[in-house]
């Protein structure tokens, strides 16, 4: 028994580090002394595993932090792990002017381009955030039965394009999909077309005097 115990202890010490020597997984990206463009020795901790937005007035350094610092460091470290042959064929970002960036993962950045706003444009449409929200609500949200008003639990029927069956009254119907929740397409308001503005003709100004004919000048130009 003593020999067996010794063997188990030896194998355990070789394969698994003691609890006192284990390092906890990082929870945030640590940026210290960022001086990219208009950043002035900025220190910031950015949570890992979260959707993080950077907001601020124009010129406050949002792009300098997101692209000039975080993306530049993440991209550089990822490319450093590739072969020299591969790196020669990939455009590399210049090294960020920063004292230290810890725990930054491999980074991917979408090309910045000025948007072409329209009357339908919002923050959600410009960033395509609403696309993901519509998909989440259509797949994970509970839908209301059009017959009895009961709420149906989320199911895969919407994703598969099948009819949903109400457990309360037995009615079958197609639950709204992602496009049915879009205010600019299938889910647009039939009155305003998703713009929130209704344009109508004011007949009182178009025809100020209804007692005379069009030839005599009933329609005001």
| 173: three-class secondary structure by DSSP | strand
- Cβ atoms of 39 and 4 within 8 Å: the answer is no
Q: How many residues does the chain have?
A: 221
pLDDT per position as a tens digit, 114-153: 666 666 677 777 767 888 888 888 888 888 899 999 988 8
Three-state SS letters, 184-220: CCCCCCCCCCCCCCCCCCCHHHHCCCCCCCCCCCCCC
Who has greater pLDDT, 197 or 87? 197
Query: How big, in percent rounded to 5, are the helix, strand and coil portions of the chain?
Result: 30, 10, 60
Who has greater pLDDT, 146 or 81? 146
**Per-residue pLDDT, 113:** 61
Q: Is a pLDDT exceeding 90 seen at residue 208?
A: no
Q: Is a pLDDT exceeding 70 seen at residue 3?
A: no
Between 112-116, 163-167, 200-204, 213-217, the lowest mean confidence (pLDDT) is in: 112-116
Burial of 24 (0-12, 13-18, 19+ CB in 10 A): exposed
pLDDT per position as a tens digit, 18-77: 555 667 888 999 999 999 988 999 999 999 888 888 888 888 888 899 888 988 888 888
**Per-residue pLDDT, 181:** 84
pTM: 0.44
Q: Retrieve residue 126's tokens.
A: 């410009």
- Cβ atoms of 152 and 167 within 8 Å: the answer is yes
Distance, in Å, from the CA atom of 62 to the CA atom of 44, rounded to the nearest integer, reads 12
Phi first, then psi: what are they for 206, rounded to 5°?
Answer: -75, -40
- Cβ atoms of 39 and 65 within 8 Å: the answer is yes
Q: Retrieve residue 172's tokens.
A: 């079958």
**Per-residue pLDDT, 187:** 77
**Per-residue pLDDT, 49:** 85
List alpha helices for 30-188, DSSP H.
Answer: 62-65, 72-80, 84-87, 123-126, 129-140, 157-160
pLDDT per position as a tens digit, 167-207: 899 999 888 888 888 877 777 888 887 778 888 888 888 88
Phi first, then psi: what are they for 110, rounded to 5°?
Answer: -85, 150
**Per-residue pLDDT, 8:** 39
- Please report which confidence band the pLDDT of residue 5 belongs to, taking 50, 70 and 90 as the band edges: very low
Between 12-21, 82-91, 95-104, 164-173, the lowest mean confidence (pLDDT) is in: 12-21
């Amino acid at each position: 028994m003593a020999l067996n115990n010794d063997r188990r202890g030896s194998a355990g010490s070789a394969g698994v580090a003691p609890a006192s020597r284990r390092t906890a997984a990082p929870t945030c990206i640590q940026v210290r002394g960022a001086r990219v463009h208009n950043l002035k020795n900025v220190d910031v901790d950015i949570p890992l595993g979260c959707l993080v937005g950077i907001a601020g007035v124009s010129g406050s350094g949002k792009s300098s932090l997101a692209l000039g610092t975080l993306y530049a460091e993440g991209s550089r470290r990822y490319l450093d792990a590739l072969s020299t042959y591969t790196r020669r064929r990939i455009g590399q970002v210049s090294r960020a002017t920063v004292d230290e960036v810890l725990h930054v993962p491999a980074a991917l950045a979408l090309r910045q381009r000025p948007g072409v706003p329209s009357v339908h444009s919002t923050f959600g449409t410009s960033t395509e955030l609403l696309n993901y929200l519509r998909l989440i609500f259509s797949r994970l949200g509970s839908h209301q039965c059009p017959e009895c008003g009961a709420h149906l639990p989320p199911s895969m029927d919407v994703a598969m394009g099948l009819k949903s069956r109400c457990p309360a009254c037995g009615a079958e119907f197609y639950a709204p999909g992602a496009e049915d929740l879009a205010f600019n397409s299938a889910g647009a308001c039939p009155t305003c077309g998703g713009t929130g503005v209704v344009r109508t003709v004011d007949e009182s100004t178009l025809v100020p005097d209804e007692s005379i004919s069009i030839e005599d000048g009933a329609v005001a130009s």
